[in-house]
């Protein structure tokens, strides 16, 4: 829970303070569905899903409160953004590539994905 909520807040605070242009967050599929069996199962382990969604919500609020439109590019470093990636179950399978990855807004589906594909998504985000 310390990593998924407070740790994420600390990372975002450091990114904002240092004008890091883009923060990429790896969360979990199903994190916004507290009634789902996956959420309930994973949440047994220290409330991990609750902490992940709290962390995500805090990041959304932190970045929404930034005044990206009025930044002096030379002084502030320009617009600061973030991406949240919510993969399903992680596997040790080899990279499958973009043809087998489905991108959606929100938390609509869950499946299985290679850790390598998640890493590639993070780099590309």
pLDDT at 75: 46
- Tokens representing 114 are 């290679």
pTM value is: 0.84
pLDDT tens per residue across span 4-23: 999 999 999 999 999 999 99
pLDDT at 77: 55
The larger pLDDT score, comparing residue 115 to residue 97, is at: 115
- Domain positions in the chain are 2-124
Identify the CATH class of 2-124.
alpha beta
The larger pLDDT score, comparing residue 15 to residue 2, is at: 15
Share of the chain above pLDDT 70, in %: 89
Residue 21 Cα distances to 18, 32, 41, 77, 92, angstroms? 9, 26, 35, 7, 31
Q: Are 51 and 8 in contact (CB under 8 A)?
A: no
pLDDT tens per residue across span 30-86: 999 999 988 999 999 889 999 999 999 999 999 999 976 655 543 455 789 999 999
């Amino acid at each position: 829970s310390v990593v998924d909520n407070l740790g994420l807040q600390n990372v975002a605070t450091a990114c904002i303070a240092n004008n890091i242009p883009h923060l990429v967050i790896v969360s979990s599929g199903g994190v916004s569905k507290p009634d789902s069996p996956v959420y309930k199962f994973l949440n047994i382990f220290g409330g991990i899903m609750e902490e992940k969604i709290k962390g995500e919500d805090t990041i959304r609020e932190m970045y929404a409160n930034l005044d990206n439109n009025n930044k002096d590019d030379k002084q502030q470093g320009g617009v600061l953004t973030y991406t949240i990636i919510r993969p399903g179950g992680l596997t040790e399978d080899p990279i499958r590539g973009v043809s087998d990855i489905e991108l959606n807004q929100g938390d609509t589906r869950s499946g299985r994905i290679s850790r390598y594909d998640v890493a590639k998504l993070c780099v590309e985000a």
